[in-house]
Amino acid sequence: MATVLEREPKGLTPKDWASDQEVRWCPGCGDYAILKAVQKTLADLQADPDRTVFISGIGCAARFPYYVESYGFHTIHGRAAAIATGVKLANPELDIWVVSGDGDSLSIGGNHLLHLLRRNVDLVYLLFNNEVYGLTKGQASPTSPRGTVSPSSPGGTLDAPVNAGAFALGAGARFVARVADVVQGPMVEVLTRAHGHRGTSFVEILQNCIVYNDGAFDAVTDKATAAEHQLWCRHGEPLLFAGGTKGVRLVPERFALEIFDVGADGLGAEAALVHDETNPMLAQMLVRLDVPTALGVIFAVEAPSYDAAFSAAAPTRKPGLADLQRQVGGRTTWKIG
Amino acid sequence: MNEISHLVGAAGPDSLVVRFAGDSGDGMQLTGSRFTQEAALDGADLATFPDFPAEIRAPVGTTFGVSAFQIQFGGRRVRTPGDRLDVLVALNPAALKVNLEDLRPGGTLIIDTAAFVDRNFKKAGYDHDPRDDLDGYRRLDIDITKLTQAAVKPLGVGNRDANRARNLWTLGLVLWLTGRSRGATQDWIRERFAAEPLVRDANLAALDAGHAYGETAELPRLPEVLAPGQTAPLPPGRYRTVTGVDALCYGLVTAARLSGIDLFYGSYPITPASSMLHMLARLGAFGVRTFQAEDEIAAICVAIGASYAGQLGVTGSSGPGIALKMEALGLAIATELPLVVIDAQRGGPSTGLPTKTEQSDLFQAVLGRNADAPLVVLAASTPGDCFPVAIEAVRLATRYMTPVMLLTDGFLANASEPWLIPDLAALEPFPVRQGAAVDGFQPYARDPATLARAWVPPGTPGLRHRIGGIERSHRTGAISYDPANHQMMTDFRRAKILGIARDLPAQGFVAGGMDDRILILGWGSTFGAIESAVDRLRADGVSVAHAHLRHIWPLPANLGDILASFERVLVPELNTGQLHLLLQGVYGCRLESLTKVSGKPFTAAEIETRVKTLLEA
């Protein structure tokens, strides 16, 4: 989301982006790493704290605005997308970040996220996905795998999970990315891209809940298995992973992606698909991969943002009092006395 | 009933009550609004009551598809659409069945005989021709359909299309019967159908033919209620007609100008509030932007977001939609952001009666949120009163950093009346200040006079801060679970709203005063019915006063003294007694309640009868 801020760089460091509030997440929570990456991104971007607004709903992630030295609005459950829309339309100069969780975004706030994405309001939307309701003590969330045993589902959940990225693409998102909490460097890169994109930049962050769902993403984030599970999508580069020993190719007959071992069955590295972040069909297939998990900027296309269109549609001429008097007076009038 | 007809008789020949009724596809609303315009331009005072079904096009000929438009007009002050009809136009048997009971004995009944056939009797639920039972009315049985067809035939218009001009033929006839001119309607037809010459000419021909019919058939005209050149005794000035929606939207854009703050209207379509969205969407040049949200919750949330960002957020809906907004409204109360919420009340609960009027959201407005969540509640009393009340809502919201709920209803939204066009230059501006001194800035520091915090939108240099729905520390706004702080903040929120009473004019009287024996205390759209009833009662020598609340919460500071000084206080309202219960709770006094929830406004006679009963008790 590129609101070009015309100002002198202030030389702010990540530390300057920390507010005076004591951070109150559980020790070891993945949110700390995300906060750190966001503060670094803001410092790298030399963003203007006075024009930066963090807006959140309800949930563990939603405390985020209190911890960033900018303007912040901690709102109500599920509605951050709608409130952020109002903020952006009222003042398009603001640089808005929405921070949300899987329950906030995909259960109670699903409708607002859908419409935010289809409208393409210019802001960054961070969805911290920990596949559990943390703040209410561990119930299954809309992204929990089927069969999840939780206090509200002692026999295991019966419902199929939402795939956040697939939902976003289905809603018409023009920017969809995915990262994990522990991968600091790439997260800053992705957040920088997201911030630079004009329109709603949707970033799903796989986030570990150390208390209620510890290890949910271990396969993706553990050093031992990460290479086999992380498929980094970079525009124009082949979709290879596991140190280049594996690749993702298209099987045209089935119109499906297939994982292959580089060198086996006569398939070299050149058999791998080259990532095209502007291809919505490829993006849909990539976000649905389980092993490996697609990370990085999966989809990004340029499109007009809603707020730009909204501003452009604003009447340019500000009528005077006489015009208003004429309007209020109407066309058909009569005189008494 | 005898008493009521006597009372209507007492209304005298200085006003007439006419109701046009037909199928929802017959154009009755258009017919009524054109008639209204003609009466207004002739200088009449008037009040209208459009009454239509929720179904867009219910099955033709059924009673639930009947649409009606009622107007009372005359050369005297007219406060209500009228209790009983002097003239009923029934374009089919269903319209007759639904409306006949309101026609006074001796009243004029106009029916289209072409529609009075067996098939339509069955659809309306009659087992025989209802005309057999119509005694005691002045009957005008006319084959309107055939006469309309004949009128447009020379233009080459077929019967099917001709039937669509039936309403204008009828309008022409009623204009003639009531001695009204038809020039404004002719102008309107020419402009409206400029691009469709055949439709234009057919409508003009039908209008003229209906008018000429009255003359050539030598039908006796109705009593003259407004002589040529006479005007109703309204205050001098230039007038137009407005509906409540018109006046409310003009009030909002005028408030934008007076406050210097742009408005942001977020809304989701709902009857009868959608027309505000439609109208404001056309007024974009005057400092209001509109946004059709994905649902009711988003509609208030975008408004809250806009208020946070420095515009004034406004949202409008009706009862069920307002219910959906309540959690977000609590956020605006907690974060102390200005906001205007318009509730065009309708019959409920649940979907209820979408197109019928009721005043049953008073509790929802004053009390309908989780926890102690006070806000300001205002109620408009007439269509024209929506203008100053909208301005007052914006003034209080911005001065006190609080949500304001503005109550209108389905009747006010659609009804129209003559409106003295306000001189906008004479209105007092109330410039709104945003920002604060950087040194020592604290987001929840309060102005000692108003207890309002400063309005500091994001983007203000050097005043970064964080707010939210979790209880806030009483100065910094940071999260605070401190028990004493929550007590203090709850007390602040309450004191801020109650303290607004000091900023309100003393409650006055519409008629009568403290020396009278009985007080009728009304609120909202019952104004006209109460005013009419009180006029008649006082003319009969009854010691009755009328006071009407604009400020529902906080209540005017002197209201307790007023209530205590009357022998009896009657609170009429279109619900089961909500203001009555609220006032008894606040003042600990005993009041009388008059309630009605039929989807229709009070008649003046209903109020008058109740006062007489009280006097006898």
pLDDT classification of A4: cutoffs 50, 70, 90: very low
Structure tokens at B392: 């007052």
Nearest beta carbon to residue B301 from set A51, A72, A82: A82
Beta bridge mates, A177: A203, A297
Residues spanned by CATH 3.40.50.920 within chain B?
A: 518-616
Residues spanned by CATH 3.40.920.10 within chain B?
A: 2-216
Tens-digit pLDDT profile for residues B488-519: 999 999 999 999 999 999 999 999 999 999 99
User: B43–A333: do the CB atoms touch at under 8 Å?
Assistant: no
Q: Other C-beta atoms within 10 Å of B220: how many?
A: 9
pLDDT classification of A2: cutoffs 50, 70, 90: very low
Nearest beta carbon to residue B424 from set A71, A94, A324: A324
Average pLDDT over residues A44-65: 97
| CA–CA dist A328, A315 (Å, integer) | 18
B-chain residues within 8 Å CB-CB of A319? 285-286
| CA–CA dist B31, B51 (Å, integer) | 13
- A-B Cβ pairs (cutoff 8 Å, strict): 207
User: B289–A89: do the CB atoms touch at under 8 Å?
Assistant: yes
CA distance B25 to chain A (A): 27
pLDDT of B228 reads: 86
CA distance A310 to chain B (A): 9
Q: What angle do CA A324, A326, A328 make, to 5 degrees?
A: 70
Tens-digit pLDDT profile for residues B314-368: 999 999 999 999 999 999 999 999 999 999 999 999 999 999 999 999 999 999 9
Q: Is the pLDDT of residue B9 over 90?
A: no
Q: Are A177 and A203 in contact (CB under 8 A)?
A: yes
A-chain residues within 8 Å CB-CB of B427? none
| CA–CA dist B22, B68 (Å, integer) | 7
What is the helix (H) or strand (E) element at residue A127, kind and residue range? strand A123-129
pLDDT of A9 reads: 54
Closest residue by Cα to residue B398 from B328, B312, B479: B312
Determine the number of helices (DSSP H) and then strands (DSSP E) in chain B: 21, 20
Indicate the class that CATH gives domain B2-216.
alpha beta
Task: Work out the end-to-end distance of chain B between its first and last CA atoms, rounded to an integer number of angstroms.
Answer: 20
| CA–CA dist A114, A167 (Å, integer) | 8
Q: Are B91 and B26 in contact (CB under 8 A)?
A: yes
Q: Which amino acid belongs to residue B17?
A: V
Nearest beta carbon to residue A112 from set B234, B298, B469: B298
Give SS3 for A72.
strand
Chain-wide mean pLDDT for chain B? 95
Average pLDDT over residues B526-550: 97
pLDDT of B95 reads: 97
User: B305–A325: do the CB atoms touch at under 8 Å?
Assistant: no
| CA–CA dist B450, A226 (Å, integer) | 59
Average pLDDT over residues B382-400: 98
B-chain residues within 8 Å CB-CB of A336? 43, 231-232, 234-239
User: A337–B286: do the CB atoms touch at under 8 Å?
Assistant: no
For residue B439, give Cα distances in angstroms to A10, A52, B476, B489. Answer: 20, 21, 13, 23
Q: Is the pLDDT of residue A145 over 60?
A: yes
In chain A, what are the domains? 14-216+304-329 (3.40.50.970)
Using CA coordinates, name the residue in chain A closest to B311: A90
CA distance A325 to chain B (A): 6
Structure tokens at A203: 């970033």
Indicate the class that CATH gives domain B240-426.
alpha beta
Buried-state track B523-556, b at ≥16 Cβ within 10 A, e below 16: bbbbbbbbbbbbbbbbeeebebbbbbbbbbbbbb
Is B1 exposed, middle or buried (CB count within 10 Å of its CB: 0-12, 13-18, 19+)? exposed
- Is the alpha carbon torsion for B56, B62, B64, B67 positive or negative? positive
Task: Work out the end-to-end distance of chain A between its first and last CA atoms, rounded to an integer number of angstroms.
Answer: 61
User: B458–A114: do the CB atoms touch at under 8 Å?
Assistant: no
User: A328–B254: do the CB atoms touch at under 8 Å?
Assistant: yes
Lowest mean pLDDT among A236-245, B3-12, B91-100, B550-559: B3-12
- What is the signed CA dihedral for A131, A132, A135, A136, rounded to 10 degrees? 150
Structure tokens at A244: 């280049």
pLDDT of B161 reads: 86
pLDDT classification of A189: cutoffs 50, 70, 90: very high
Tens-digit pLDDT profile for residues B271-287: 999 999 999 999 999 99
Average pLDDT over residues A157-179: 98
Question: Residue B374: is the preceding peptide bond cis (ω within 30°)?
Answer: no
User: A82–B298: do the CB atoms touch at under 8 Å?
Assistant: yes
Q: Is the pLDDT of residue B12 over 60?
A: no
pLDDT of A8 reads: 52
Q: Are A19 and A42 in contact (CB under 8 A)?
A: no
CA distance B37 to chain A (A): 8
| ipTM of this complex | 0.96
Question: Residue B354: is the preceding peptide bond cis (ω within 30°)?
Answer: no
Average pLDDT over residues B99-116: 97
User: A90–B284: do the CB atoms touch at under 8 Å?
Assistant: no
User: B425–A53: do the CB atoms touch at under 8 Å?
Assistant: no
User: B467–A19: do the CB atoms touch at under 8 Å?
Assistant: no
Is B79 exposed, middle or buried (CB count within 10 Å of its CB: 0-12, 13-18, 19+)? buried
pLDDT of B232 reads: 93
pLDDT of A10 reads: 67
Phi, psi of B402 (to 5 degrees): -145, 150
Lowest mean pLDDT among A206-210, B230-234, B513-517: B230-234
pLDDT of B52 reads: 87
- What is the signed CA dihedral for B29, B35, B37, B38, rounded to 10 degrees? 170
CA distance A83 to chain B (A): 4
pLDDT classification of B55: cutoffs 50, 70, 90: confident
User: A75–B37: do the CB atoms touch at under 8 Å?
Assistant: no
Of all residues in chain B, the percent with pLDDT exceeding 70 is 98
pLDDT of B1 reads: 29
Domain topology for B518-616? Rossmann fold (3.40.50)
User: B478–A21: do the CB atoms touch at under 8 Å?
Assistant: yes
CA distance B282 to chain A (A): 11
CA distance A285 to chain B (A): 29
Residues spanned by CATH 3.40.50.970 within chain B?
A: 240-426
Q: Is the pLDDT of residue A73 over 70?
A: yes
